[in-house]
Amino acid sequence: MAQPALPRNPIGVLPSAVPEEARPFLHALLNAPGWAVGFLDRELRLRWGNETLVGLTGQPMPIQLGKTVTELWPGLAAGLSPLCGRALQGEPIHGATVTTEPDMTADGRRIHLRISLLPATSGGAMTGIALLLQDDTERVEREEGLREAETRLKTLVDLSCDGYLIHDGETVLEASRGSASLLGCLPEELVGQPLFRFLAPESRQAAKDAYRAQQEMPYELTALRYGELRVPIQVLAREVTYRGRQVSLAALWDITGKKAAEEAATRAEYLREQLLGVVGHDLRTPLNTVMLGLSALQHEGKLEERQTRQLTIMSNAARRMERMIYELLDFTRARLAGGIPVNPTPMSLGPVVDRVVEEYRLAHPEYPILPVAEGDLDGHWDESRLAQLLDNLLQNALRHSMSNTSIGLSVKGEPSGVTLIVLNKGPLLLPEEREAIFEPFRRGKRPAGEGLGLGLFIAKQIAEAHGGRISVESAIERGTSFKVWLPRRHSR
């Protein structure tokens, strides 16, 4: 049925029996806005209609009068005719809904009408039916739109998490299919149940605390599937309004796979650290024996020049192996004990720098080291560990410097502490490389065939154990510099 907007005109004639003074009031009542009113006789022919009925049907009233409901509104006949039949039997019909099919209207929309049919009798005999129609299309479409939006929102939630629950801290009020599947039941089996029935005992207090605090950060709980199977879940909750009261909407994620991966990684890391520790510790004894033997042979003085050179090569290889063993032990200590242990005592950094630099000058004369020291270099540090830190930084600088280039080394005392900088003219470090350069077992772009890639990691651990820090900067013009800042005394 089309719904043209027609001008309001007085339609039909009121019976002559209606008193003259009542006619304006009855006319106003019958033409109340929003309601289409018509009178049908026993043959369901229209005998009178108001202005709204004209606007609803789109036909002038003279054309409508005398026609049956089937002739007037063929699109409504299937739903309206049975209701009229019941009303002719004396049954009042209140607020029934009749909907047209899309192909029955000019614009292809369904028209939703709310209909009441009131039997009319005179002297005990049925005379006809009073018909009241109201166009309910906008309200129905609005409700359908809200339902569709709700369905889309629920689907979106199901896609973005494994499920959700709405609860008041005690009882489950609503559950998605995903959450029900996660807990091994149907949604209707969840609704109305105590929330803690689906949580492991050790997680119930944490759930209560999170609800009371209205915690907005994700937190982890252990759910019970089928009442006994434990499932680790992550929860993210927000306060929402549900049927006029404030409740919690909790999004759920099954993190079983994540937990299994974390546990496997933890086990693998533990086994690796145990292995490194055992290897590093058990290799020291036979290596010490080898080094003592090499030293004794070198001091005998009865060897040929070729044999002396060979012993020197073997001795250098043994020292490199010793260095790697100590690095493995330090790495294991740092991981298992939460950091490298240090034993700070009053000292000056100057002599340590001089000693380490002299050792490198003798071993690597092709790489000049240019130390610069200024200011107060006294502090409360572990001397052997700072020598190790500087040794590691110089080893790294030698490994990555260009041939026949100098290595810069500066130590400067400041009121708050001491700053140590080691500079080399090696290749430029990219930003992503700088972020990861202090991670263990990283050997850079130019590994020199030796070392485990632990030197910078251990240097960082030593600096942090003293309450300090280490950073790296790299530029084409200047080169790559490692900057260490150490407080004069670390207050733990």
Beta-sheet strand order (sheet of 125-135): 46-49, 36-41, 125-135, 112-122, 93-99
Burial class (CB in 10 A: 0-12, 13-18, 19+), 89: exposed
CB burial string 303-327: b at 16+ within 10 A, e below: eeeeeeeebeebbeebeebbbbbeb
Residue 429 CB coordination number (10 Å):
19
- Which CATH architecture fits 161-254? 2-Layer Sandwich (3.30)
Mean residue pLDDT of the chain comes to 82
- With contact defined as beta carbons under 8 Å apart, do 426 and 475 qualify? no
d(CA 342, CA 463) in angstroms, rounded, equals: 10
Residue 235, strand partner residues: 219, 252
Q: Which residues contact 81 (CB under 8 A, 6 or more apart)?
A: 44, 69, 70
Q: pLDDT-based confidence at 451, cuts 50/70/90?
A: low
Domain boundaries, the chain: 20-141, 161-254, 259-336, 345-487
Q: pLDDT-based confidence at 5, cuts 50/70/90?
A: very low
pLDDT of residue 31: 66
The CATH class that applies to domain 20-141 reads alpha beta
pLDDT surpasses 70 at 446? no
- % the chain with pLDDT above 70: 85
pLDDT of residue 281: 67
pLDDT of residue 11: 45
More confident position, 25 or 9 = 25
The separation between the first and the last C-alpha atoms of the chain, rounded to the nearest angstrom, is 85
Among residues 116, 145, 111, the alpha carbon closest in space to that of 130 is found at 116
Which range is most confident: 276-290, 395-409, 446-460?
A: 395-409
pLDDT surpasses 60 at 404? yes
Mean pLDDT along residues 317-323: 77
Mean pLDDT along residues 222-241: 89
- Helices 305-336, 256-300: crossing angle, 10 deg rounding: 150
pLDDT of residue 443: 62
d(CA 159, CA 161) in angstroms, rounded, equals: 6
* Chain segment 157-216, per-residue pLDDT in tens: 666 788 889 999 999 999 988 899 999 999 899 999 999 999 999 999 999 999 999 888
pLDDT of residue 105: 52
Length of the chain: 492
pLDDT of residue 427: 83
* Chain segment 14-40, per-residue pLDDT in tens: 555 556 665 566 666 666 666 788 888
pLDDT surpasses 50 at 6? no
pLDDT of residue 241: 87
- With contact defined as beta carbons under 8 Å apart, do 244 and 232 qualify? no
CATH topology of domain 259-336: Helix Hairpins (1.10.287)
* Chain segment 92-136, per-residue pLDDT in tens: 999 888 887 654 555 567 788 888 898 988 777 888 888 888 888
* Chain segment 148-158, per-residue pLDDT in tens: 777 777 766 66
* Chain segment 259-308, per-residue pLDDT in tens: 888 888 888 777 766 766 666 667 777 777 887 887 887 777 777 778 88
The phi and psi torsions of 396 (rounded to 5 degrees) equal -65, -40
Domain 161-254 and domain 259-336 have a common topology:
no
pLDDT surpasses 50 at 4? no
pLDDT surpasses 60 at 448? no
d(CA 135, CA 109) in angstroms, rounded, equals: 13
> How would you write the chain as a 3-class SS string?
CCCCCCCCCCCCCCCCCCCHHHHHHHHHHHCCCCCEEEEEECCCEEEEECHHHHHHHCCCHHHHCCCEHHHHCCCCHHHHHHHHHHHHCCCCEEEEEEECCHHHCCCCCCCEEEEEEEEEEECCEEEEEEEEEEECHHHHHHHHHHHHHHHHHHHHHHHHCCEEEEECCCEEEEECHHHHHHHCCCHHHHCCCEHHHHECHHHHHHHHHHHHCCCCCCEEEEEEECCCEEEEEEEEEEEEEECCEEEEEEEEEECHHHHHHHHHHHHHHHHHHHHHHHHHHHHHHHHHHHHHHHHHHHHHCCCCHHHHHHHHHHHHHHHHHHHHHHHHHHHHHHHHCCCCCCCCEEEEHHHHHHHHHHHHHHHCCCCCEEEEEECCCEEEECHHHHHHHHHHHHHHHHHHCCCCCCEEEEEEECCCEEEEEEEECCCCCCHHHHHHCCCCCCCCCCCCCCCCCCHHHHHHHHHHHCCCEEEEEEECCCEEEEEEEEECCCCC
pLDDT of residue 340: 85
d(CA 490, CA 492) in angstroms, rounded, equals: 6
Please state the pTM of the whole predicted model.
0.45
CA distances from 334 to 46, 331, 337, 342 (A): 96, 5, 6, 11
CATH topology of domain 345-487: Heat Shock Protein 90 (3.30.565)
- The residue type of 155 is T
d(CA 121, CA 115) in angstroms, rounded, equals: 20
